[in-house]
Every structure is written in C-alpha cells, then in structure tokens.
C-alpha cells in the first residue's frame, strides 16, 4: 500500500518498488532478445528512470541517458553537484549566477532544486546523476545547439568524457501522428480552419496542472474580454472546472465557448494545433515539451508556470528567447487580457512574432540533413554501431 503526498504524487515507497520490479522486467526483456538472436546494442533511458542504465551496465550493454528537459535545467542540477551546494537561495528575488546561463533570480529555478526536501524525484535524480556521470558515455538532450549553445558548451567542458549531444527538438512527425490516431483532433483542426490567420488564443496547461475554480473563472472572463477566438483545453478529469464552464455533452449546446466565440475541448493534438496558421498566441504552463513545440512552431507565448522546470523555461521564453510575456499569479481577467494583447497586437508583438519565426527556422534546420541535431543523432548511432562491430 502506497501513501500519496504532495497533491497526489506518490513518493519513495512506490519508487523503490518500481525500481525492483522494473529492473527485473527490463533485464528479462534484454535476456529474451539476446536468446532470440536480437541482442540489445544500447539502452537509451530517461534520466528519470536511471535504474534502466544500471541494468544495462550490469549486463555489459552500452548506455545513453536521455534528458527530456532543457540543457539549462540540467546545468543547474550539475552545478549544484559540482559545487556541493546544499541549496540555492530561498529568497525568490536573490540573484543566482551559474556558468553558461544568463543571470537569474532564485524564483526562476526549478522547484526540484529550490525545495528538494519536498520532491523525492529530485533526491533520486541528483544521486543518480552523480553516479551516471561516471558510467554513461552519451547524454542526449531534447534541445538544439542554436537554442542553448552557451549551456551546452559549458556542460561539455565540465563533463569531459560524457558526450553532451543535442538531438532535438523531439517532435512527433506527421506519419507518427497518423499512426497514433491523428484524426482524433480533426474537430479542432476544422474549427481552426475557419478562423482568421493568427487570431486564436490557444490555452493548454499540460497533463497534470489544474487551475483552482476561482482562477478558471478569471481565465474564462479574461479570454472573453480579449474579444478573440480561443481554444481552451480542460481535461476530462477536471470535473469542477468543466462544470464551471458549463461544458455540454454535445458541442453545439449553449455554453461559455459558444457565447464567446471560443472552443473548449478535453484534448487536442497540441503540436498540430500550434502549427496551424490560425494560432497567434499560446498560453502555456511552460513544460519543456510545450516550450519546444511553441518554438518549433513559431508561436509567441504567454507564460504561466507552476512547478518543476516550468519557472526556468518561462524565464528563458521571455528574457532569453524573446517570444513571450509572463502572466502574474493568480490569474486575473484584466492581466490576462493585457498579456494576450501585448503578445498579439502590442508594440512588441511584431518583434516577438519575428523572433518566434526565427526559432522555428532554427529548429527545422537543426533536424534537417546536415543540421546540428541530425549530426548529433548520426554521431551517436555511428558510435553505437562501432561498439557493436568491435
């Protein structure tokens, strides 16, 4: 029996049991593959399942670590380790200086760094980063060189033998989307097709974050106050807010969305939506996948980070990448309206769109033949093949 904590997140007891059970299962899978004449040549594992790397190491199989957050966030974890810092400043306004990163305030740091005692994930992660640095040969990062070059170069200089390799942005292709049920969001796409170019405010807060009832009411009022069409994602498991928005079972019934020219859905294909020409602004919680998808789609953002790496990503989207503005907490309708207008039609809106378009081009170039991430992926594959041959 596992006891949940911190908003329902399970903690150390389930992690310990998961490590034991999953390690055994992975070792069995690798063994069966070998017995069938299909030996595993390399194990690529997320940094949040480091036990997979240990299993591979114990079986003599090369390993690579996949970091699915930004290189900047990875730098913060390693910097804390290198300098044996028990913690960063608790004062949110206190300055933080880390090599390879722009000046930040403590409030811009990931919550897993600022409040480590609250997050068993962080304790496990840092402990494993220390050991994995000595065993893993490749560190694959979901970023691209043009986006985070200073952080990448600084990490490379500090990690020595560990090959820090940008391989992103890791985005689902059109073929993969089709294979995984890409038609599920066709209703959204048809609605977007009917909207003017760059007119829609797209709002999505990821698969975990939930707004309180008061904030959702302010969000709805703020979106209505913009006078712009909006696409708002409110998940099926967010019953209170779906009731607040008077969402019907049938999309044509009277509801908030119909009254304000918007559309409220339980799910949509975020990457497809962001790449649609009708989308002019993305109100986001700033998870790294969402940040990368916005950059790769050339869409300016209004940031509303909550926890984990989101405050850091928001800082970079605003002040480093130059594609957005921060919505103050808690959500207030007038503040939301002002932020949306600033991004979509304010004095700096054209510059933000141009900068976002530049990042879209850079992301595309990184994945194209001969691009920085394409070369990184090819170098990694070549190294694995060389190991197999030898």
DSSP 55-77: HHHHTT--EEEEE-S-HHHHHHH
Strand bridging mode 324-326 / 301-303: parallel
How many whole angstroms separate alpha carbon 294 and alpha carbon 289? 9
What is the DSSP code string of 217-267? HHHHHHHHHHTS-EEEE--TT-HHHHHHTT--SSTTS--HHHHHT-EEES-
Tell me the percentage of the chain whose pLDDT exceeds 70.
79
pTM for the predicted model, two decimal places: 0.89
Lowest mean pLDDT among 16-30, 77-91, 139-153, 355-369: 77-91
Query: What pairs with residue 230 in β-bridges?
Result: 201
Q: How far apart are CA 312 and CA 300, in angstroms?
A: 17
Better pLDDT: 116 or 347: 347
Tokens of 314: 């928001």
Band the pLDDT of 130: cuts 50, 70, 90.
low
Mean pLDDT across the stretch 112-128? 60
Indicate if the pLDDT at residue 121 is higher than 60: no
Q: Nearest-5° angle of CA 306, CA 354, CA 227?
A: 60
Average pLDDT over residues 356-373: 98
- Residue 43 has phi, psi (to 5 degrees) of -110, 120
CB-facing half-sphere around the CA of 183: CA atoms within 13 A: 1
pLDDT tens digits, 167-189: 999 998 655 555 545 555 688 99
- Summarize the confidence of residues 202-222 as an average pLDDT: 92
Q: Give the per-residue pLDDT at 209.
A: 86
257, exposed or middle or buried, with CB in 10 Å at 0-12, 13-18, 19+?
Answer: buried
pLDDT reading at 4 higher than 70? no
How does DSSP classify residue 118? G
Band of pLDDT at residue 289, cut at 50, 70 and 90: very high
CATH architecture of 4-167: 3-Layer(aba) Sandwich (3.40)
Mean pLDDT of all residues in the chain? 86
The neighbouring-strand residues paired with 281 are 201
- Compute the C-alpha angle 186/190/193, nearest 5°: 135
Instruction: Show the tokens assigned to 325.
Output: 């503005």
Distance between first and last Cα of the chain: 47
The two tokens of residue 227 are 């006078």
Q: Which fold has domain 174-367?
A: Rossmann fold (3.40.50)
Evaluate whether 4-167 and 174-367 have a shared fold: yes
Spans of all domains in the chain? 4-167, 174-367
- What's the pLDDT score for residue 12? 58
Q: Does 365 or 54 have the greater pLDDT score?
A: 365
């Amino acid at each position: 029996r596992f006891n949940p904590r911190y908003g329902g997140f399970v903690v150390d007891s389930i992690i310990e049991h998961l490590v034991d059970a999953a390690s055994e299962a992975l070792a069995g899978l690798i063994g069966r593959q070998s017995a069938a004449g299909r030996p595993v040549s390399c194990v690529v594992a997320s940094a949040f399942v480091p036990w997979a790397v240990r299993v591979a190491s114990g079986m003599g199989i090369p390993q690579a670590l996949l970091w699915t957050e930004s290189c900047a966030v990875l730098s913060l974890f390693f910097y804390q380790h290198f300098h044996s810092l028990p913690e960063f400043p608790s004062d949110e306004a206190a300055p933080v200086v880390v090599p390879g990163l722009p000046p930040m305030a403590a409030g811009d740091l990931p919550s897993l760094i600022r409040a480590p005692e609250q997050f068993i994930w962080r304790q496990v992660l840092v402990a494993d980063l220390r050991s994995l640095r000595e065993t893993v040969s490749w560190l694959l990062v979901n970023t691209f060189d043009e986006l985070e070059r200073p952080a990448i170069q600084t990490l490379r200089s500090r990690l020595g033998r560990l090959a820090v390799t940008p391989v992103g942005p890791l985005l689902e292709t059109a073929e993969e989307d089709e294979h995984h049920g890409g038609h599920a969001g066709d209703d959204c796409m048809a609605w977007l097709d009917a909207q003017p170019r760059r007119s829609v405010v797209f709002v999505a807060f990821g698969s975990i974050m939930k707004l309180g009832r008061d904030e959702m009411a302010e969000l709805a009022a703020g979106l209505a106050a913009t006078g712009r069409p909006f696409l708002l994602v409110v998940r099926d498991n967010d019953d209170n807010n779906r009731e607040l928005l008077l969402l019907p079972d049938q999309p044509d019934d009277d509801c908030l969305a119909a009254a304000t020219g918007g559309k409220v859905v339980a799910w949509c294909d975020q990457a497809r939506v962001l790449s649609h020409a009708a989308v002019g602004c993305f109100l986001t919680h700033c998870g790294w996948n969402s940040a990368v998808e916005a950059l790769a789609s050339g869409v300016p953002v209004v940031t509303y980070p909550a926890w984990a790496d989101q405050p850091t990503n928001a800082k970079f989207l605003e002040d480093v990448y130059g594609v957005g503005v921060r919505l103050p907490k808690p959500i207030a309708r007038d503040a939301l309206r002002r932020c949306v207008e600033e991004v979509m039609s304010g004095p700096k809106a054209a510059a933000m769109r141009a900068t976002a378009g530049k990042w879209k081009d850079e992301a595309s170039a990184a994945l194209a033949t001969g691009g920085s991430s394409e070369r990184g992926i090819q170098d990694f594959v070549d190294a694995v093949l060389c190991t197999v041959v030898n």
